[in-house]
Structure 1
Amino acid sequence: MNTEEIFNLFLLISALHGFLFCFVILFSKNGREKSMLFINLLVLIISLNNMQSWILAKNFFIEYFFLDYIHIPWHFLIAPFFYMFLIHYLEIEKRSKNLLKIILPVFVLIITIRIGFVSFFSDKNTTDVAYLFEKYTSFEEIFSLIVSLIIFGYSFKILSKKEKLFIKILSYDNLKWIYTFFKLGLLTYIFWIIALAITVALDFKEFIYSYYPLRVLTTVLIYWIGYQALLQLRLLKERKDLRKQLNFAPITDANNIIKEEKDADKKIVFDKIQSTIQEKKLFIEPKLNAEFLANEVDISSTKLSTIIKLFTDKNFNDYINEFRIDLAKELLAHPEYKNYTITSIGLESGFNSKSTFYSTFKKHTGVTPAQYQKSLNR
């Protein structure tokens, strides 16, 4: 089996996998969520693009001029659908632009122009048709690339520069997985630019090999974010449910608490630290630091760390993690949450990642969260 045959097999398998993914998610518990709907559309258009590429590579329409040259530019919709997923996942769609209102009419116009282009040459008996078609397709693709880069950059600007719009989501998800997607997405655009540059350098003669890495990377990336979004959406819903049922309050403004007298003795200050953390459940916030807690009890961060060390013989992080571990153990033991993922319980207990939760839990208890939960069911 040569390279082309392997690549064509990849296109077929990935397309079928994508269709199956879309079907399963559509009828799943979270399939009707707006953010998941746009991820599903993202996977669907990549699947359609791969199926189209496979059909054309197999020359199924070689005897039908019109069908052989009508290629739907599905790639034009990738960035817009990702943008729509992003604003819905961050729950800022009402304060963001609906780019689909602009993109979809342009997409229809591109298809209309392509149909007109093919119709014009359908009755022409000329050897230049293939060359003209490849040249037109490349210009169309360059336009798609420019639009995609603009939307991609705008999406990243929202994620990195407008955190004040989605503070609520940040209390549940640090969004590292979306930042990872942007890094890989940038690599994908570099491959796309290289493939187009090769096509132009070869005077628009077909050079399909330059697109092999691009299509493989794009497919893997889109399916990866599909599964990641499904997982993160489940974690998000579970954590919201946990917080609602346990009546956790978010960190409030430091100006709303009663200040302790600055001349109070160390034991009173330590008791104040303990009660503030417990009453406000401050430890469930992954970004909690000594400076914030010190401000809550109206002392310096240095004094706070000194007092914690004096009464617990622990540094700030170990001290706070004890509260998180206690909560995690309580949730893991609670029968009402036995079907919740261990990851969502760990994140809702205040840890910023699954790996940190597992390592810290084992450090404090000697067993992993899974082993601890299993021991309770014996």
Structure 2
Amino acid sequence: MNLSFLQIFTLISIIHSFLLGVVVLSSKLLRSKANFYLGISLVILAIVGINNWFWDIGKNPLLVRFFDLFLWQFLYPTTLFKYFLLVTKSKSLKNSFKWFYMPFIILSLFNIIVTFQNLYGWINISFLTEETIHIFYKIISFLSIIYSLSLLLVSFGMIFLKKTKAHFLWVKIFWGLFFFIDSYGAVLELGRFYTNERKSHTYLWVAFSVVIYWMIYIGLYKFKFSNEKFEIRKFLENTKASNLESKGTNDYLDKLLNLLTTQKIYLNAQLNREKVAEMLNISPGYLSQVLSKTEYKNLTAIINYYRVEEAKRLLRNSEFKNYSLVSVGLEVGFNSKSTFYNTFKKQTGLTPNEFKKQVL
């Protein structure tokens, strides 16, 4: 069997789609309800891909014949839509979502009946004539275009029109790439609908390959980053914080330093004056007044002192020498790379990287 480079390339990428889906489903660090549906979608797309791949090379092995019994083109848009629904934390259609599986279930059931009669002759239903079967597959072809694109367009509103923290840039890029590929697939299916001639899907799966390898790159980076965060967090939870002396100047300062030392509240990147004042049962204005009369001047200076001290402790530890500085900065409580770098240099006179090279 002679295979072209593109055919080999797409086969490898389809296998990688399956493996990436399995990794997303099985990894403890990537485990979430949203990622479950992303992983399922990748596995289903791999099944669709392998069916199309064998069709394009003119082969029809037993496994592919089994997969062909089910109309996967009505399942992956549903699971992918559920992923977008969860990752954007949208509550629309939440209660009625289970009905979205009906097209896959009902149409697959009809397809199994048609296949058992038309190809294998295992059953004999009188109204399933050649003309009826032809009309059935025409309807399937048309509905697969409408269904997939409709769900993508609905998810567009969730991802691009609502402002929530859940809308990560990579999710938007993923949606855009997938919409382009699905639109190309719709064009091919539309041509099949009008001409009854199935075009090769090789270039469609080449485009899909690009998306898969982009996702693998993002996934590996995100996985590494998540793993670093997990290890750093575990280290911070099991070690004592540095301690500033209050010198007995104020009871509220004593309580604040105790919270910082024992509970490590500074690790929360969202910590602010209002939250700290609430913990101390005083007003934000009075908290500022109390701190202004101490040698520490303001809350930000105290919190950043603790954060930088934690960062220094991590950077001195050889176990974390290969970890990214971004991971270190975010896990000790800074909300951005630039804030971490600027504050660290202001307090130590060195950038985090310079300090790391000096101590290791």
Q: Please, what TM-score do these two structures have when normalized by structure 2?
A: 0.63
Distance across 1 between alignment mates of 2:73 and 2:339: 39
Q: Does 1:213 align with 2:239?
A: no
Report how far residue 47 of structure 1 moved. Answer: 1.6
The amino acid of 1:205's aligned partner reads E
The amino acid of 2:285's aligned partner reads K
Aligned match of 1:97? 94
Aligned match of 1:345? 328
Of 251, 261, 275 in structure 1, the residue corresponding to residue 298 of structure 2 is 275
Moved more, 10-19 or 253-262: 253-262
Matches within 5 A, 1:66-145: 67=65, 70=68, 72-89=70-87, 92=89, 97=94, 101-122=98-119, 136-137=136-137, 139-145=139-145
Distance change (3 Å), C-alpha of 1:337 and 1:33: farther
* 1:139-195 alpha-carbon deviations (Å, 9 max, x no partner): 42432333333332333433345545xx5xx6xxx7111122122223223323332
Report how far residue 52 of structure 1 moved. Answer: 1.4
* 1:207-245 alpha-carbon deviations (Å, 9 max, x no partner): 22xx33322223432453355356436645755774984
Distance across 2 between alignment mates of 1:19 and 1:36: 14
Partners of 2:22 and 2:43 within 8 A in 1? no
Aligned match of 1:30? 29
Q: Does 1:17 align with 2:11?
A: no
Distance across 1 between alignment mates of 2:6 and 2:96: 33
Distance change (3 Å), C-alpha of 1:96 and 1:279: farther
Distance change (3 Å), C-alpha of 1:277 and 1:95: farther
Aligned match of 1:191? 184
Distance change (3 Å), C-alpha of 1:44 and 1:374: farther
Q: SS at 1:59's partner residue?
A: coil
Distance across 2 between alignment mates of 1:192 and 1:185: 10
Partners of 1:238 and 1:344 within 8 A in 2? yes
Q: Please, what TM-score do these two structures have when normalized by structure 1?
A: 0.60
Q: CA RMSD in A?
A: 5.1
Aligned match of 2:261? none
Distance change (3 Å), C-alpha of 1:188 and 1:21: closer
Partners of 2:325 and 2:352 within 8 A in 1? yes
Q: SS at 1:207's partner residue?
A: coil
Distance across 2 between alignment mates of 1:331 and 1:206: 59
Structure 1 residue ranges without an equivalent (≥5): 282-321
Distance change (3 Å), C-alpha of 1:25 and 1:179: closer
Q: SS at 2:60's partner residue?
A: coil
Of 173, 176, 193 in structure 2, the residue corresponding to residue 180 of structure 1 is 173
Distance across 2 between alignment mates of 1:96 and 1:15: 31
Structure 2 residue ranges without an equivalent (≥5): 238-263, 278-282
The amino acid of 1:179's aligned partner reads K
Distance across 2 between alignment mates of 1:72 and 1:350: 50
* 1:15-43 alpha-carbon deviations (Å, 9 max, x no partner): 33334434555554436543333332222
Partners of 1:15 and 1:47 within 8 A in 2? yes
Q: Does 1:146 align with 2:123?
A: no
Moved more, 213-222 or 66-75: 66-75
